[in-house]
Structure 1
């Protein structure tokens, strides 16, 4: 692997979690998530993985994502890994020496910056720029997965750091919720709905009839309808990354105990609303409605997440989801206090962190690789 640590996994290494301590015991209650995250990390950063991006490119993109997000601890980890590469394989050496970015690296960095900072601007034109830089469909899928995983990892690290901190008393948040939605509301064409939607890819999909045995196995494991899903048939261009990403998603959204299924779907809808992902918003709002047998909070959320919620618990879950989505680098232990005051225990908070983070990942794939469309006939 590119990043070699003595810790049991990449997140333990970054946060400094020691075996047997409270946060380690908590994480082990979600072993499938823990293992899936580490497997995803290895699939994305292993030097012998089937990814059309060099080790130096992948690490530089990860470093760039961390710096853009203010994730200093993670940034130091990826910078250290870059420094272990030989000079000819380390693009930071050339950049810091003043060499201009070549067209390929410039396209990679620009695409990563868009997905990290404003994923709603990931569009077909962005993919065409990558194709112009000679990236194949498989390369583009790998790049999107890599950047989306970094968005996930950054938020999990931020959330775990909050859980590792001493318990803080509840008081008013330092964040001003009245202005957090400006980037999203600047796009009036984004209209959220409870109506079922379809999703159309901007890239060629894998034909199931021509898929490899490995691709078919990954599709089968991803879900009962994956072989008919344009989304999965796009992602399966990189089957190993998809395999581990599906494992993480399922382990987060369907784990027993802890946060209720409905509240996980509520968090997914919040993140999708903030990121401007209409398709994910529709799917997970309807799942919330099915599980909770009510939708008034969804209608409030679609209108204005900063004021949504019918109970203190809902308002706490929504506010935390907004903050971790928009500004993980600014989170403080006081941001968890309202969750605890509303009755969430640490396992429920961990599930909430995971649910928020996985939709930082999912939204970026949906927004960057295709677009939603209505299923209604004219």
Structure 2
């Protein structure tokens, strides 16, 4: 057992050394200075696994062509207000038809672009009927997972870039976002009491265990390939991971990235990483993710009343279901948790509304650069996780809850 652990540690150390010599996309596009690069390098596998996910998503084989994948990513990056990421996808061959203020004329591409608009801006308003529109336009279940991963991963990447820039004193520039409305504009979030599998569906925030059911057929358990099974190692084989296993290389990198951010002792206290995940989930309005990470934060911090205070805040929302303000999420918290919640929540908005003033407050509370880069990574990751959970299925109350997913 010790020999295996030592071998695994040696492998990770070697991988980290290789990574340190090759700038990853997030570092390159954020233009990291020496100070923040050094802080981020204390958890080098975060950068490496994020790059592996990008390479698998945009370089791997899939029925959705690379120009379309990159075009949809450029569209999502534009929605998130990160022009450098938009231009990077264009440089690498993105189909620029997705960057017009009008939807593409081709009905298949039009459906995909509209869906990326929806889950980039208003993921909590996505429904099973939205996935039916993709199916009717000719997209297969595998394709739908690709489209969803492109949109959700770009949300992560955009927030990682913007967050690291903020740590270097750079406020986000005004965003040139598409002027067309998204399919979600004017909707309100579903309050249905029954999930798509016929089970009772939660509509209020909770720290109780929840389960999740997919709107697209997951890979049946007895049909999983060894690669697909390995892609969610350490997790359950529930519907969520069997659905994402339709794109196993991306899921494998994502599973490892999750562990690199959250399952470590270095950096921000684990309870505060989980707090950031819960705050992000409140902004995007993901009841399932908030339940998992509020529960973990409450257990690790031994501050359940403070976590419940966060969960109990009701945010006013506009026609796109974007919160009018996120600062109310920190009401009643102590100074450090106020700074953590306010920064995470503002980094989670679309486009990002966090400023260097948020970073100044975090530093005034004593957070070191290594903790700040960890906070950025934890918050950004849940920009990804929330969008997958919200747009591919819905939560339900289980009889016996499985191990939570991310």
Any conservation in 2 of the 1:205–1:234 contact (CA below 8 Å)?
yes
**Residue aligned with 1:52, SS:** coil
**Residue aligned with 2:92, SS:** helix
**Equivalent in the alignment of 1:301:** 310
**Equivalent in the alignment of 1:15:** 30
1:326 to 316, 333, 349: 349
1:52 to 63, 66, 78: 63
Structure 2 length normalisation: TM-score?
0.79
**Equivalent in the alignment of 2:362:** 339
Give the Cα separation in 2 of the matches to 1:300 and 1:99.
41
**Residue aligned with 1:264, SS:** helix
Structure 1 gaps of 5+ residues are 1-5, 83-89, 168-182
**Residue aligned with 1:283, SS:** helix
Deviations 1:107-152 (A, max 9, x none): 1100101111011012211110111111111111111111100000
Per mean C-alpha deviation after superposition, the further-off stretch among 325-334 and 112-121 is: 325-334
**Equivalent in the alignment of 1:86:** none
The Cα of 1:72 is off from its aligned counterpart by: 1.6
2:77 to 56, 66, 73: 66
Distance 1:188 1:144, change over 3 A: closer
The Cα of 1:376 is off from its aligned counterpart by: 5.2
Give the Cα separation in 2 of the matches to 1:166 and 1:245.
28
Alignment of 1:285 onto 2:298 = no
2:340 to 317, 322, 333: 317
Deviations 1:165-205 (A, max 9, x none): 389xxxxxxxxxxxxxxx99964834111221111111111
**Equivalent in the alignment of 2:270:** 261
Give the Cα separation in 2 of the matches to 1:230 and 1:241.
17
Any conservation in 1 of the 2:283–2:348 contact (CA below 8 Å)?
yes
Any conservation in 2 of the 1:309–1:318 contact (CA below 8 Å)?
no
Any conservation in 2 of the 1:194–1:282 contact (CA below 8 Å)?
yes
1:146-295 pair list within 5 angstroms = 146-165=150-169, 187=189, 189=191, 190-219=203-232, 221=233, 223=234, 225-227=235-237, 229-295=238-304
Alignment of 1:366 onto 2:389 = yes
Distance 1:100 1:67, change over 3 A: closer
**Equivalent in the alignment of 2:52:** 39
Any conservation in 2 of the 1:154–1:328 contact (CA below 8 Å)?
no
The Cα of 1:53 is off from its aligned counterpart by: 1.1
Equivalenced residues, count: 342
Give the Cα separation in 2 of the matches to 1:333 and 1:340.
10
1:66-105 pair list within 5 angstroms = 66-82=77-93, 91-92=95-96, 101-105=105-109
Deviations 1:343-378 (A, max 9, x none): 11111111111111111100111011110011259x
**Structure 1 or 2: more helix by fraction:** 1
Structure 2 gaps of 5+ residues are 1-20, 172-184, 192-202, 314-327, 401-406
Distance 1:299 1:364, change over 3 A: same
Per mean C-alpha deviation after superposition, the further-off stretch among 251-260 and 299-308 is: 299-308
Any conservation in 1 of the 2:75–2:99 contact (CA below 8 Å)?
no
The Cα of 1:12 is off from its aligned counterpart by: 2.5
The Cα of 1:100 is off from its aligned counterpart by: 5.0
Any conservation in 2 of the 1:130–1:140 contact (CA below 8 Å)?
yes
Alignment of 1:118 onto 2:127 = no
Give the Cα separation in 1 of the matches to 2:98 and 2:394.
37
Structure 1 length normalisation: TM-score?
0.84
The Cα of 1:330 is off from its aligned counterpart by: 3.9
**Residue aligned with 1:371, SS:** strand
Give the Cα separation in 2 of the matches to 1:94 and 1:272.
28
**Equivalent in the alignment of 1:179:** none
Distance 1:351 1:94, change over 3 A: closer
The Cα of 1:95 is off from its aligned counterpart by: 7.8
